Structure 1
């Protein structure tokens, strides 16, 4: 029997799963899933990705489009886009994209930026399903995002709100590699980083478009930090801590 992808994903989450998670999932998961969670509490292990050579590291590069910057103030996730990268090679055919059901009107600024209209969100899947599908797609991979604090904040908030589950999956920020490879280059915006690396800027502020550009950026900088002798994520973090 195939397990719920959210439950499988939680194998990669640090920390103890408490009884409140079981109560939260009772209404939306089968008894088998709840039993699996109870067993998981005894067996929980964290996937060790820090020592995997960068050439062998499988990552999912992703992006969120949202209604604003503050989920705790009610800002919502509009869409999630992602693409897989194996080692430093972007897997262009292995992508994920979904809109998420969103209530309320979008601001004119958000509609202009994302080119998403309220009418597209009315029949979109509920965010809980979109997140489960995304975690299924990302299962077994390290997550990567560009200036990842935005994505991490939203995933932490909605994982707790929807599943009563702490989100502690490692998200590697592309800016980590940029700081190591080019410490004197001060670039922040995704489009500026892409132009600096001759990565075409296509479908900016579309979740999948941004994920694809970030994946190309990741590929460029994985190659550059390896030329500096950095072999894995542990050495990335060690270099940043100096």
Structure 2
């Protein structure tokens, strides 16, 4: 992840931060040096280690004030979901949750009142993610909010590779019209639990990732490079 650590540090100092804030900057700077995004293009999908994530938000437009209210993520090694290696956090926001979102997610203002702020959660999330490749169902939603958060907190672009699961569906099963997470799970016989909970949605998407990298492998699409090349000639 590329950002200006001096700018970030000054912002933290202006808010009366402690030595721990400097440690955060040092960690993020080291992460920036160690990221090797391009190298993942040639690793077999069935051997690629990824982190599958999902976020719940107050709406669809971060540039219009919508906010992240929870982040869930789980690690996948090859085609095995690591059930005991996951991340989940609620996030405190500065305005009430819209009633429709509260009904959809089951989250309430009271639950978020004692949650940590986005600045803390995003840092802990990045520590969990490190330089892993990220995966999400219809990833543009996650991308928009993570880019916005990265800019607001660090004045930097979000640099992690983020793979949209819809790419895999389109290449592996081009004749199927799979759109929602429910449709994709039902089509593949995956039991649906706890929808619109960030961690459980991440787990459902992780199960789909494992199914589809094997389907892609069967048709000779074995790496991310293969996947992207096939998408360009669709």
Matches within 5 A, 1:169-188: 169-188=160-179
Which of 36, 45, 51 is residue 46 of structure 1 equivalent to?
Answer: 36
**Equivalence for 2:152:** 161
Q: Give the SS at the match of 1:49.
A: helix
Within the alignment, does 1:196 sit opposite 2:180 as a pair? no
**Residue 46 (structure 1) shift:** 3.3
User: Partner of 2:223 in structure 1?
Assistant: 232
CA distance in 2, matches of 1:201, 1:232: 28
Do 1:176 and 1:240's aligned partners in 2 also have CA atoms closer than 8 Å?
A: yes
- Cα distance between partner residues in 2 of 1:92 and 1:157: 29
Equivalents in 1 of 2:146, 2:24: separation in Å? 25
From 103, 110, 135, give the equivalent of 1:119: 110
Equivalent pair of 1:146/1:190 in contact (CA under 8 Å)? yes
Alignment of 1:84-99 (within 5 A): 84-99=75-90
* SS of match in other structure, 2:186: helix
Deviation at 1:115, TM superposition (A): 0.1
Partner of 2:137: 146
Q: Is the 8 A contact 2:79 2:213 kept in 1?
A: yes
Moved over 3 A (4+): 16-28, 31-37, 43-47
Structure 1 residue runs without a partner (length 5+): 1-9
SS in 2 for 1:172: strand
Partner of 1:4: none
* CA distance in structure 2 between the partners assigned to 1:21 and 1:157 by the alignment: 15
Aligned length: 227
Find the counterpart in structure 1 of residue 58 from structure 2. Answer: 67
- Asked if 1:30 corresponds to 2:5, the answer is no
**Aligned counterpart, 2:201:** 210
Q: What is the deviation of 1:118?
A: 0.3
Cα distance in structure 2, aligned partners of 1:138 and 1:35: 13
User: Secondary structure of 1:219's partner?
Assistant: helix
Measure the CA separation in 1 of the matches of 2:230 and 2:102: 40
Give me the TM-score of the superposition, normalised by structure 1: 0.86
> In 2, Cα distance between the equivalents of 1:85 and 1:40?
20
Residues in 2 aligned to 1:135 and 1:36: alpha-carbon distance in whole angstroms: 8
Equivalent-residue separation in structure 1 for 2:24 and 2:56 (angstroms)? 34
Q: Contact 1:25 / 1:34 at 8 angstroms: preserved in 2?
A: no
Q: Distance in 1 between matches of 2:170 and 2:230?
A: 10
